Amino acid sequence: VHPRMVRRILVTGANKGIGLAIVRRCMLDHSDTHCILACRSIQRGEAAVASLLSEDPAWKERLTVLEMDTASDASVAAAAATLTIQLGASSNLLYGYVNNAGIAAGTLAEILNVNVRGPRRVDCHFLRLLDPDAGRVVQMASGVATFCVSKCSDERKAFLTHPHGQDWASLDSLIEEVLAYPNGAKDLAPNGFGPAGYGYGLSKALLNAYTLGLARQHPNLKINSCSPGLIATDLFGDFIAEPFASWGGRAVSKILARWLAGALTPDEGTVSAMYLLFSEELETLPSGRYYGSDAKRSPLDVYRKAGSPPYKGP
């Protein structure tokens, strides 16, 4: 592939789980791609590359590791500067990127910082590096967001599902409101938010609202969010383990086993992200949409089971 024809794709949280699976799928299915694994740890990123090269050593020239912690303003800014120096000064260094890095366990502040403010940081520094006429952004959301929104008060639901999304100032103001709750996640329900999975569901609902607003601000780009489905990853384990943290071994093991029995593999969880990165169908479709794990459009406030008809609403 001629260097000028290479499609460079950055994936955050790419050293394991769905992020690594997306990189692998790019290597397998799209020979014109070069993937940049954005990871908090260079060592873990290099280990991930080594695992990929054990499958096909020929991928070596198509893989790069970039140190980046999406929870840190300074780290994201430094990563963007490093990538610009490495690849040159043109305005279209990237074909697309996937905001995949996320956490399901931790304090409410930590979850919102990584899952909502993290993608925002990346967008602030990397949108300018995209091809201005064909760039693609994939925000990794979750079906848990729809469960959260479905049980919200009418006022909260209207905010989180507005067809035009929300601007960052409005979202940041809501985040600050939530972070001021004296009892953290325990105060979400009394303040009109549905079951939020200890903040995880709310963080992904906010990410969806942000994505819709961002897409309107950048009409020439393809900016969408998606759910990977129920995936057997460390993040999934953290999410379902959190409510049972005070329980003892055998009970927890049975619960985890029952949940994991229906979970998809990370590779199976790449379907929607790969569609949003590469499908030519998106060239004629509106941007700023949320897609389910089967790569079909889905509503923001009602869970749509994979395989059911796509959402047709506003």
Enumerate residues 6+ apart whose C-beta is below 8 A from 27: 33, 35, 52, 56, 59, 62, 63
User: In a 3-state reduction of DSSP, which class is residue 310?
Assistant: coil
pTM above 0.75, yes or no: yes
36-41 average pLDDT score = 98
273-297 average pLDDT score = 97
pLDDT at 254: 43
User: In a 3-state reduction of DSSP, which class is residue 89?
Assistant: coil
What kind of architecture, by CATH, is found in domain 3-291? 3-Layer(aba) Sandwich (3.40)
pLDDT at 230: 80
- Please identify which residue in the block is written with the tokens 């290099």: 46
pLDDT at 197: 61
Locate the domains of the chain by residue range. 3-291
Which residues share a beta bridge with 291?
Answer: 226, 297
First-to-final CA distance of the chain: 40
